[in-house]
Amino acid sequence: MAVVRPFKGFRPKEDLVEKVASLPYDVMNRVEAKKMAEGNDISFLHVVRSEMDVDDSISQYDEKVYLKARENLDNFIDDGVLIQDEKPTLYIYRQLMNGRVQTGVVACTSIDDYMNDIIKKHEFTRAEKEVDRINNFDVCNANTAPIFLTYRNNKEITTIINDWIKFNMPVYNFISDDDITHIIWTIDEDKIIEKLSSLFEKVDYLYIADGHHRSASSVNVGNKRRKAFPDYSGEEEFNYFLSVIFPDDDLFIMDYNRVVKDLNGNTPAEVIEKIKDKFIVEEVDSASPYKPKDAKTYGMFLENKWYKLSAKEGIYDANDPVDRLDVSILQKNLLTPVLGIGDPRTDKRIDFVGGIRGLKALEERCNKDMKIAFSMYPTTMDDLLSIADAGVVMPPKSTWFEPKLRSGLFVHRL
């Protein structure tokens, strides 16, 4: 039974929304963030990547960075860039990308549901990344970015959302720089809010699609507030965190590709010979990058050539939801034994390239600072739900969702 409740969101004035809305903090580095926000004093990157507003010599994890985020957020509110809705509200957030549509409910979800596994996870988090968002949320006294959640589609919820869209005008409708359309409606009728909340109570589980670090950080900050206010009732805003909740059949997972810095002391010929024990290796007779068309196949870019790798039968357990993942097969049978990549969460010799950047980005990395690259077949939503239901986790960087949720469209004060 999932708790989903309205909140009095801070959101941009209608005529400023395009300038405020930003990509999420974790798809860019410091330099890229500064470039994206250049000439735009009200980009929400000033809150979620506030290190760009302090001297470059200061670490992005320094206390001054989080104090600057708080200052920028307070200024946005004081200057009327962000305004707060007068009553607790639910919102509908629709995104259109390349003809695809995904439509979710923006609401607050419960830190208790997270701790009690009503909100299910499929990835481990990294301590330093978790601490970063803990500090941002804590110092800002706000959830400055939403968690991307999903659930198994419920027709009644979909019907209510579609009816509201049909008979009400959106408050925002804009196209971002990456050609993604963002449309938002407010649901401020108490009866509809109560109906949606009651329907979500019948949803057994919510699943984190993207935002494991943000959700863990939100829960950490909520528990910190509980310790500071031991007489809390459970109704305080710090008991809840900002989420956008989409039905599973709306979502699109792209490939999440790998690049490795060196060949672990092997020559290119030795790498190819060593992997033939576990994979069928075929040289690709094409100038274009090889994009896998089926699960258990991979592209490999080595010495300016593309190869198709096909996993041999018997090297994975088809009944194990983690072992049968393409990312697991590659890790266990090639990246670890041949290239010496132990823990991909911490190994500095491996990097990951989201599918939105295209496969040419893999060639560019190999011509710049990497030696070998692998193009992947995307993980499926069924894989994600099965793994979360089993209470186990995927290898890191298994899923890349598109489109990304924009930051700055909603802020939830704690």
Question: How far is the C-alpha of 331 from the C-alpha of 312, rounded, in Å?
Answer: 14
User: Looking at the domain assignment, is residue 228 inside a domain?
Assistant: yes
CATH code: domain of residue 280? 3.30.1760
Overall number of domains in the chain: 2
- Whether 204 and 333 map to the same domain: the answer is no
**Are 133 and 90 in a shared domain?**
yes
Tell me, yes or no, whether 393 lies in a domain: no
What's the confidence (pLDDT) of residue 27? 85
What is the residue range of 271's domain?
256-377
- What is the Cα–Cα distance from 119 to 25, expressed in whole angstroms? 23
The structure's pTM equals: 0.91
Same domain flag for 193 and 278: no
pLDDT at 281: 98
Same domain, 247 and 296: no
For residue 267, what are the CA distances in angstroms to 271, 284, 304? 6, 20, 14
Q: How much is the mean pLDDT over the chain?
A: 96
Structural domain contains residue 58: yes
Q: Are residues 179 and 289 in the same domain?
A: no
Q: For residue 71, how many C-alpha atoms fall within 13 Å in the half-sphere facing its CB?
A: 11
The verdict on 108 and 49 lying in the same domain is: yes
**How does pLDDT run across 213-238, given as a tens digit for each residue?**
999 999 999 999 999 999 999 999 99
For residues 142 and 125, membership in a common domain is answered with: yes
Measured CA distances, 177 to 21, 272, 409 (Å)? 10, 41, 15
Answer whether residue 388 is part of any domain: no
Domain co-membership, 88 together with 199: yes
pLDDT at residue 348 greater than cutoff 80: yes
Per-residue pLDDT band at 126 (split at 50, 70, 90) = confident
Looking at the fold, whether 281 and 408 belong to one and the same domain comes out as no
Please state, in angstroms and rounded to a whole number, the distance separating the CA atoms of residues 299 and 281: 10
The answer to whether position 392 is within a domain reads no
Identify which of 152, 153, 187, 157 has the alpha carbon closest to the alpha carbon of residue 170.
187
Q: Is residue 48 part of a domain?
A: yes
Confidence class for position 118, pLDDT limits 50, 70, 90: very high
Residues 83 and 177 in one domain: yes
Domain assignment present for residue 390? The answer is no
Tell me the mean pLDDT in the region 26-52: 94
Alpha carbons 354 and 401: distance in angstroms, whole number: 9
Which pLDDT score, from 0 to 100, does residue 196 have?
97
Q: Nearest-5° angle of CA 286, CA 288, CA 290? A: 90
User: Which amino acid belongs to residue 396?
Assistant: P
Q: In this structure, are 288 and 184 located in the same domain? A: no
75 and 158 belong to one structural domain: yes
103 band by pLDDT with thresholds 50, 70 and 90: very high
Residue 383 lies in a domain: no
